[in-house]
Amino acid sequence: MESRFNYAENPVGAKAAKYVISAGKVVTDSSLPPLTKELVALRISQINGCAPCVEIHTKDAEHAGETSLRINLVPVWREAPVYTDAERAALALAEEGTRVADAAGGVSDETWAEASRHYDEDQLAALVAHIAVMNAFNRMNIITAQPAPGTYRPGQW
């Protein structure tokens, strides 16, 4: 697949990407567990069908020490007994936060309450920001038809 537009080579596009990356820095610097960040990013990217982000977060999760079993079971996390209750709460919040248009009520009170049981306010803020940033990146890549190059190296971005 050939991309429609290389926003990284366009001054406006590059500036927009820079600001989205800057917004993501707060997540990187937060106390949200690194593997949770990768699982959430991977699940959001799978839902949205963002090939470059699926590649990035699969490789970054593996590099961070995630097992191939847990990476492969992310699409069916509800049925897979390999995730902690906290990870399940984060994945549920990520799914509902990503599928806002599909779910009439957005994020349910039950999902929020479960996430609140496992994460403190700073971690919740980071998780919400992470969900928003990942959806922004996914949309930028999907709209411009960015391919998954297959050459991403863990930590490259």
The structural domains of the chain, ordered by start, are 7-143 (1.20.1290.10)
- Per cent of the chain over pLDDT 70 is 97
pTM as predicted: 0.93
pLDDT higher than 90, residue 20: yes
What does the chain look like in DSSP terms, one character per residue?
---S--GGGSHHHHHHHHHHHHHHHHHHTSSS-HHHHHHHHHHHHHHHT-HHHHHHHHHHHHHTT--HHHHHTGGGTTT-TTS-HHHHHHHHHHHHHH-TTTSTTSS-HHHHHHHHHHS-HHHHHHHHHHHHHHHHHHHHHHHTT----S---TT--
The string of pLDDT tens digits covering residues 96-114 is 999 988 766 789 999 999 9
**Can you give the pLDDT at residue 104?**
66
- Per cent of the chain over pLDDT 90 is 82
